Amino acid sequence: MSIQLPMNAFNLKAALLAKHAQHPVIIHFPIALFIISVAFDLFAIWKSNPAMAKAAYYNLVAAALTAPIAVATGLAAWQLQLEGAKLRGNLLLHITFALTSSAMIWLLFGWRFRQRNNPQQRPGFIYLFLALVTVLLISITGHLGGILSGVESGSN
């Protein structure tokens, strides 16, 4: 007895090996991890909660570790799906904001990494300001990525 799958059945191999499939999946990790890290930092300061500060730190570590993977899959999608199209317009902006966002995540991670042995030291105003600016950069990057992918209306 053989089982016949419908013609439109999910094909795992095709999904994993698609020219651009990895980037839209991977990109959500550093975005969410970084934003929740900032939220935990703000909550830790507001409530004087060291456990939240620790959670913020570990989310920041995870965001920093996944950001290069997101950038690499984005560059691969540019080369494979867009066949290395000339960098201009929204594509140029998206890549510029993505690289800047990733660099900012790593800068902030380095800042916090140096403070890790002093758990009583809270992020200061400058750190929080830069973290919120990075959230804005990430938001702009995501918006431009949505336009490029056709998820959001706009020109490619």
Among residues 133, 124, 123, 135, the alpha carbon closest in space to that of 33 is found at 135
More confident residue, 7 or 93: 93
pTM (two decimals) = 0.82
Please compute the mean of the pLDDT values over residues 43-70 and round it to a whole number. Answer: 95
d(CA 116, CA 150): 41
Confidence category of residue 77, pLDDT binned at 50, 70, 90: confident
Distances (CA, A) of 45 to 51, 122, 132, 134: 11, 7, 15, 19
Among residues 39, 65, 64, 66, the alpha carbon closest in space to that of 52 is found at 39
d(CA 138, CA 31): 7
Confidence category of residue 1, pLDDT binned at 50, 70, 90: low
Judge whether residue 33 has pLDDT over 60. Answer: yes
Confidence category of residue 8, pLDDT binned at 50, 70, 90: low
Q: Tell me what pLDDT residue 126 has.
A: 95
What is the domain partition of the chain in residue ranges?
Answer: 21-149
Q: Tell me what pLDDT residue 148 has.
A: 84
Among residues 43, 54, 47, the alpha carbon closest in space to that of 121 is found at 54
Q: Tell me what pLDDT residue 30 has.
A: 97
